[in-house]
């Protein structure tokens, strides 16, 4: 069958090919005119909370790292002396990431335009 150019198309991939659902019309509209549906960088920044949202995100990161240093004071000493091991770097980065995600969600929810 190496010379065969026909390929079997599964029913599940082609059953709605010619249907006229509202979802397929919306997809076609987005493909044909993407400018109507995309945000500019400034609009995206404002939708995520703007300057206040960015400050809230930084505040959450700072608060989460401060909490980590209060719970594990030796970690701050190791960081100050440049003696962190790999697992401590992972803990520090993970705490910062979790603080960022919490701050991002908080800022987008309360100060942004979802």
Q: Is the pLDDT of residue 23 over 80?
A: no
CA distances from 92 to 62, 64, 67, 83, 88 (A): 12, 10, 11, 13, 6
Q: Is 20 helix (H, G, I), strand (E, B) or coil?
A: coil
Tell whether pTM > 0.75. Answer: no
> Token pair of 58, please?
């930084």
What is the rounded distance in angstroms from the CA atom of residue 17 to the CA atom of residue 9? 12
User: Model confidence over 59-108: pLDDT tens digits?
Assistant: 999 999 999 999 999 999 999 999 999 999 999 999 999 999 999 999 99
- Amino acid 2: pLDDT: 62
């Amino acid at each position: 069958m190496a010379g065969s150019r026909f390929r079997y198309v599964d029913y599940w991939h082609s059953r709605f090919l010619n249907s006229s659902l509202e979802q397929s019309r919306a997809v076609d509209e987005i493909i044909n005119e993407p400018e109507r549906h995309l945000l500019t960088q400034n609009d995206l920044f404002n939708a995520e909370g703007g300057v206040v949202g960015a400050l809230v995100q930084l505040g959450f990161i700072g608060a989460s790292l401060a909490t980590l240093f209060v719970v594990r004071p030796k970690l701050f000493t190791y960081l100050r002396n440049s003696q962190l091991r790999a697992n401590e770097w992972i803990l520090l980065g993970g705490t910062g990431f979790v603080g960022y995600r919490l701050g991002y969600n908080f800022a987008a929810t309360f100060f942004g335009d979802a």
